[in-house]
A and B are shown apart, each in its own frame.
Chain A
Amino acid sequence: SQQGEEDPQALSIQEGENATMNCSYKTSINNLQWYRQNSGRGLVHLILIRSNEREKHSGRLRVTLDTSKKSSSLLITASRAADTASYFCATEGGSYIPTFGRGTSLIVHP
């Protein structure tokens, strides 16, 4: 079963614009993570936010978590063509088994 569901499924923006993608999940979590996948490659960890945190920053990334709504958002500011990739949220509820959503495909046009 897939815990997280990302929205939108696809996002196309111009370089310099901000990109926002959302993740909704169904059951309680210990933490939520965001990963990036370039086409045909493995996933790379971007950022982790714990259930008792509401917002976290890392460089141009900003992640929010609303446990009451069971949702998270990933904001990439001042996007670059190199940010083109698929982005996945993964939830973990205490079993140390990351459960992934279907991902958001982001295209940043130069």
Chain B
Amino acid sequence: DGGITQSPKYLFRKEGQNVTLSCEQNLNHDAMYWYRQDPGQGLRLIYYSQIVNDFQKGDIAEGYSVSREKKESFPLTVTSAQKNPTAFYLCASIGFLNTEAFFGQGTRLTVV
């Protein structure tokens, strides 16, 4: 079945650590996106990539980094510079000339 997979589902980070969230899709979609969701704030765009080896900052990119070495994969690293990383992270992808976004099931990151 085609789809978009995020892992892990739950992630715990200690203060000062970097952690990487995985996002993989087998939909052959060109564009991939990372959103952060906090209670009452909806979805905010962190980074997006519309083609391999290229990515752009979204509205809240500070403290995050991404790579897009393969079409299928768009990992997100939450660095120690992100002061408030506890949130629900959602990865999405969109096909060429399409606008319907397909979402993964999300990763809930908690700082301990």
Contacts and interface: CB of A to CB of B under 8 A. Distances in A.
Interface of A: 1-2, 9, 30-31, 33, 35, 40-45, 48, 88, 90, 92, 96-103
Nearest to B6: A42
B99 A103 contact: no
A30 B97 CA distance: 12
Interface in B94-112: 94, 99-106, 108
Given A2-B44, A97-B45, A102-B41, A33 B94 contact: no
B1 interface: no
A48 B33 CA distance: 19
Given A96-B94, A102-B42, A42 B99 contact: no
A88 B42 contact: yes
Contacts of B33: 97-98
B11 to A, nearest CB: 14
A103 B43 CA distance: 9
B43 A88 contact: yes
Contact of B59 (A1, A42, A43, A103): A1
